[in-house]
Amino acid sequence: MEVATPNSQLPPIPGKRYFTIGEVSDLCGVKTHVLRYWEGEFPSLKPMKRRGNRRYYQREDVLLIRQIRALLYENGYTISGARQKLLDEAHTPPPSVHPLEPIVLNGHDVAPLVEELERILFILKC
C-alpha cells in the first residue's frame, strides 16, 4: 500500500491561472482517475471543461483538492464525512471583526461596514 505524502510536503502551487488534470495530479499527489471520481463526489469541485471535455482547474480547485486529500488521507474521514465537513465549513459564518481599535478610514470608523459586508458575503455564499 502506498503511503500518502502529507499536504505540508506537497510542491508549491505555481502562479498560473489554469492547470491541467495531470498538473493537478502532480501538485496534489492524487492520481487523475481519483480526481475525476472526486468531481462526482464533491459538488464544490467543478473544474472548467473545454474542447474535447478537457478539464482546467483553477487555484481554488487545487486548494480544495488538497483540503479533500487532507481530510481523507491524513484525518481519516470517509468520503461522505469529508463531504459533510466541507458543507459545514461552507455554512459556518466567518468570525466577526472585533478589533481592539476601530478601523479608521478617512476619519470614519468602518468596522461596522466590514461586519455588514462579511454578513452579506456569508449569506451570498450559502
Taking only the tens place, the pLDDT of each residue in 79-104 is: 999 999 999 888 776 665 555 456 77
Average pLDDT of 106-111?
A: 77
For helices 32-41 and 59-69, what crossing angle results, to 10°?
A: 90
Q: What is the pLDDT of residue 1?
A: 46
Residue 54, strand partner residues: 50
The amino acid occupying position 66 is: R
CB count, 10 Å around CB of 56?
A: 16
List pLDDT tens digits, range 4-57: 677 778 999 999 899 999 999 999 999 999 999 999 999 999 999 988 889 999
Domain boundaries in the chain? 19-91
Whether the model clears a pTM of 0.75, i.e. scores above it, the answer is no
CB count, 10 Å around CB of 25?
A: 17
Domain over 19-91 is classified CATH 1.10.3720.10: no
